[in-house]
Amino acid sequence: MNGEEQIPDGIAQRFRGFLPVVVDVETAGFDAQRHALLEIAAVVIRMAPDGRLEPAPAVHCHVLPFVGAELDPRALAFNGIDPDHPLREAVPEHEALNRILSPVRKAVKNTGCTRAILVGHNAHFDLGFIKAAVDRTEFKRNPFHAFSVFDTVSLSGLMFGQTVLANAARAAGLGWSNSDAHSALYDAEQTARLFCTIINRWNEFDPLRFWESGERLPAPE
């Protein structure tokens, strides 16, 4: 993803100034305060000239466990990550955040958006680990909204009746590779494709399309 790329600014109008950015993390457990963040991938969502959403190229890096981090063997067995593998080329958390979040900040600016909004499958899990790493490293200028997310679990349940990422991807016609799954890069790219597919299909039969006119919804009575 080229951080200087000018992405059409219709995306800012579509989501009330929020730029959707898909994030997937792989971790050494479920507790963002105690367990290590091991891998991050992010995919900015952009709008094509015809108004359809599409994923930009992903950014991705492996992360060194922070000092004192716990590593749950069950989590490592599940995602297949060896934190000590020499070919991981992992970097400290602060550097990893800079690699991932700096291009996101630039994309927010280039699109005329006000903030990024995290898109994820069980999105609050990913957001929680990002926020914990930001706090630990005192990273400045986190572009993501502090608590709002777009969760593809809910969107997939609505559109396809599926909540598991692999099943939702298959239902959307995107396919799924079990051998590639549980890599942050693969899961982020598939989640981005899924999110775009859902929004694009919704746009095809939404008769109102308030975002195109710039009109605000009337206040509730």
Annotated binding residues for Mg(2+), written as ranges, equal 24, 26, 182, 187
- Sign for the CA dihedral angle at 26, 29, 33, 38 comes to negative
DSSP-H helix ranges across the chain: 10-14, 73-79, 93-110, 123-137, 152-160, 165-171, 184-205, 210-213
Question: 85, 94, 145, 182: which is the annotated catalytic residue?
Answer: 182
CB 174 within 8 A of CB 32: no
Annotated catalytic, 182? yes
Binding-site entries: 24, 26, 182, 187
Distance between CA atoms of residues 155 and 119, nearest Å: 11
In the 8-state DSSP scheme, what is residue 86? G
Distance between CA atoms of residues 92 and 40, nearest Å: 12
CA distances to 52, 103, 124, 191, 192 from 197, in Å: 9, 24, 21, 10, 9
The neighbouring-strand residues paired with 206 are: none
Residues 6+ apart with CB under 8 A from 138: none
Q: How many Å is the Cα radius of gyration of the chain? A: 18
Distance between CA atoms of residues 145 and 134, nearest Å: 13
Active site amino acids: 182
